[in-house]
Amino acid sequence: MADLVSHPDEVKVVSKRFGQGAVNIDRYLELDGYKAVQKALTMQPDEIINLVKNSGLRGRGGAGFNTGLKWSFVPKQSAKPKYILCNGDESEPGTCKDRLIFEHDPHAIIEGVMIAGLAVGAQTGYIYVRGEYRYLLEIVQKAIADAYAKGFLGKNIFDSGKTFDIYWHGGAGAYEVGEESALMESLEGKRGIPRIRPPFPAVVGLWGGPTVINNAETLASVPHILLGGAEWYANLGSPKNGGTRLFCLSGNLNKPGVYELPMGYSLKKMIYEVGGGIPNGRKLKGVVPGGSSVAILTADEVNADVAMDFDAMLKAGSMLGSGGVVVLDDTACIVNFALRTIKFYKHESCGWCIPCREGTDWLQKTLIRFHSGGGVKKDIDNMYYLAENMLGRTFCPLGDAAAMPVIAFVKKFRQEFEDHLDGKPCPFAKHSGAQQSPVMA
């Protein structure tokens, strides 16, 4: 179980109950638990949707889509049952926030699922937990059972005459299954390969029914929005980026950990103040601001002071992604870091489409040879080419996720690649593996 950290700049919303024993349903009730869903029961579905829309809550799974807007796409009438899916597959390297919610505040997720259900007219929810988070499954199972025992789930919830059921499901260890459509395949007992869109899940989703799929953190934020109001939540963050989010600080930092900060918080401050700066007086080399799938920012780009919200990050040429902030100091070898990154994507490519499946493999083989001194000049361009060949051209965004970091590494740190050429030993070889490639740590 992870240690909790804190910083005065934090604004605790989702993490409000962390460390308060809220896994216990009675304790959760004392901490305003299940009030939001009861409030939602008194509201019209459209009211709930508008509230969430206006709060500026954007998906915490990575893409940052406005949550209320997503809910509004679900058709009112449907021949097939509708479903709410909680995406707890959290597998993006550098990302470790959903697990804290599961560990400390599972009922908030349950409540969020229920509210989403009331908003779109679904009666069934699924909580899908990453395979490697097996220890969290027990917590989720118990939380669901407790909620049933109290009559919060099942038939006639809170005497409303309404029915709502929640099931849990454990993953089997594939990153790709965090992708929403692959997750649905997995949940249906099939291979974890993605589906084509359109049709979008809101129309044809799980078991062919209209489905809302949201990240665990997104859903856990919803009860707070219901109680605190849209305006309150929106004002916590920056324009069009409502609220706060859990940032997972890792890499070469003095105080790594998960911190809840307002959307739009300064990346520089996040590193030097919240994260306690870089150990041993080392200099910053770069930051991967949104999980391993996004373009790295150089020290200069970080020092230009970018705000950590979806729009500002996009403008800065990267993405806010899943909230995983990985910091590299000047002992890190970018080639090795690229290798470590691509190893992950090669390993996790689902094998459905060619550019990703073969591209990641070719990239990995090239990088292994390259980093061990066998690189030739054309490799650099070829890596760039392979990544470009994936970008926007694969079946699902995993290909983009593998391509974007590689393109940025080559573009922004070409010199470092060239320093590895002609059989030269890795210039960073004297540093330990963990330093060279912090994600591995």
Partner 1 sequence: MATIYVDGKPHQVDAQQNLLHACLTLGFNLPYFCWHPALGSVGACRQCAVKQFRSPEDKHGRLVMACMTPASEGAQISIADPEAVAFRKGIIEGMMENHPHDCPVCDEGGECHLQDMTVMTGHDYRRYEFPKRTFRNQYLGPFVNHEMNRCIQCYRCVRFYREYAGGQDFNVFGIRNLAYFGRHEDGVLESEFAGNLDEVCPTGVFTDATHKHHYTRKWDMQFAPSICVHCGLGCNISPGERYGMLRRIVNRYHGDINGYFLCDRGRYGYEFVNSEQRIRQPQIRSNGQIQPVPKQQAIEEGGRFIASATTVIGIGSSRASLESNFALRMAVGANHFFAGASTQELQLLHLTLEILRTTPVASLRDVEDSDAVLVLGEDVSNYAPRMALSLRQSVRQQPFAMTDKLKIPRWLDHAVREAAQEHKGPLFMATVAATRLDDVATDTYRGAPDEIARLGYAVARTLDPEAAGLRATTASGSLAGQIVRAVRAVTGLGKPPSGAPDADFETMAQRIAQALNGAERPLVISGLGCRSGPVLKAAANVVRALQRNGKPARIALAVPECNSLGLAMLGAKPFEEALAVAREHSGTTAIMLENDLYRQAPGSDVDVFLRSANHLIALDHLQNRTTATAELTFPAATFAESDGTLVNNEGRAQRFFQALTPQEIQESWRWLRDIFVAAGRREFSAWKTLDDVIQSLVSEFPDLAQVAEAAPAASFRMAGEKIPRQPHRYSGRTAMLANINVSEPKPPDDPDSSLSYSMEGNPDQPPAALIPFAWAGGWNSYQAWNKFQEEIAGPLRGGNPGVRLFQPPAQAGEYFQDAPKRFQPREGEWLVVPLYHVFGSEELSILSPGVKQLSPKPYIAMNDEHAKGAGLQAEDMVELAIGGASYRAALQIRPDLPVGIAGVPVGVDLFAGIQLPAWSKIERVS
Ligand X SMILES: Cc1cc2nc3c(=O)[nH]c(=O)nc-3n(C[C@H](O)[C@H](O)[C@H](O)COP(=O)(O)O)c2cc1C
Q: Site residues (CB under 8 A) for partner 1?
A: 174, 176, 184, 191-192, 195-196, 198-199, 203-204, 207-208, 346-355, 357-362, 365-366, 369, 382, 385, 389, 392-395
Rounded to whole angstroms, the Cα distance separating 95 from 263 reads 17
Tell me 167's DSSP state: E
Stretch that binds ligand X, among 176-184, 248-256, 302-310, 333-341 (CB under 6 A): 176-184
Site for ligand SF4 in 364-403 (CB under 6 A): 394-396, 398-399
Nearest of 229, 312, 308, 261 to residue 54 by alpha carbon: 229
Contact residue for ligand X among 63, 139, 391, 421 (CB under 6 A):
63
Shortest CB 317 distance to partner 1, Å: 20
Residue 356 touching ligand SF4 (CB under 6 A): yes
Residue number, 292 or 360, with CB nearest to partner 1: 360
Nearest of 290, 327, 293 to residue 309 by alpha carbon: 290
Residue 266 touching ligand X (CB under 6 A): no
> Of these partners, ligand X, ligand SF4, partner 1, none, which one is at the site of residue 62 (CB under 5 to 8 Å by kind)?
ligand X
Shortest CB 26 distance to ligand X, Å: 29
Nearest of 179, 181, 70 to residue 116 by alpha carbon: 70
Q: Bin 282: left if φ > 0, else alpha if -120 < ψ < 50, else beta.
A: beta
Residue number, 394 or 435, with CB nearest to ligand SF4: 394
Contact residue for ligand SF4 among 64, 194, 237, 286 (CB under 6 A):
194
Angle at 222 between CA 217 and CA 227, to 5 degrees: 140
Which residues is 247 bridged to in the sheet? 259
Shortest CB 85 distance to ligand X, Å: 8
Q: Tell me if 273 sits within 8 A of 319, measured CB to CB.
A: no
Q: Tell me if 316 sits within 8 A of 306, measured CB to CB.
A: yes
Tell me 189's DSSP state: T
Site for ligand X in 383-422 (CB under 6 A): 396-398, 401
Residue 357 touching ligand SF4 (CB under 6 A): yes
Nearest of 267, 269, 277, 256 to residue 309 by alpha carbon: 267
Shortest CB 313 distance to partner 1, Å: 23
Residue 347's contacts (CB-CB under 8 Å, 6 or more residues apart) are: none
Site for ligand SF4 in 311-350 (CB under 6 A): 349-350
Angle at 67 between CA 63 and CA 72, to 5 degrees: 125
Which residues are at the interface with ligand SF4 (CB under 6 A)?
Answer: 176, 194, 349-353, 356-357, 394-396, 398-399
Which residues are at the interface with ligand X (CB under 6 A)?
Answer: 59-63, 65, 87, 89-92, 175-176, 178-180, 213-215, 218, 396-398, 401
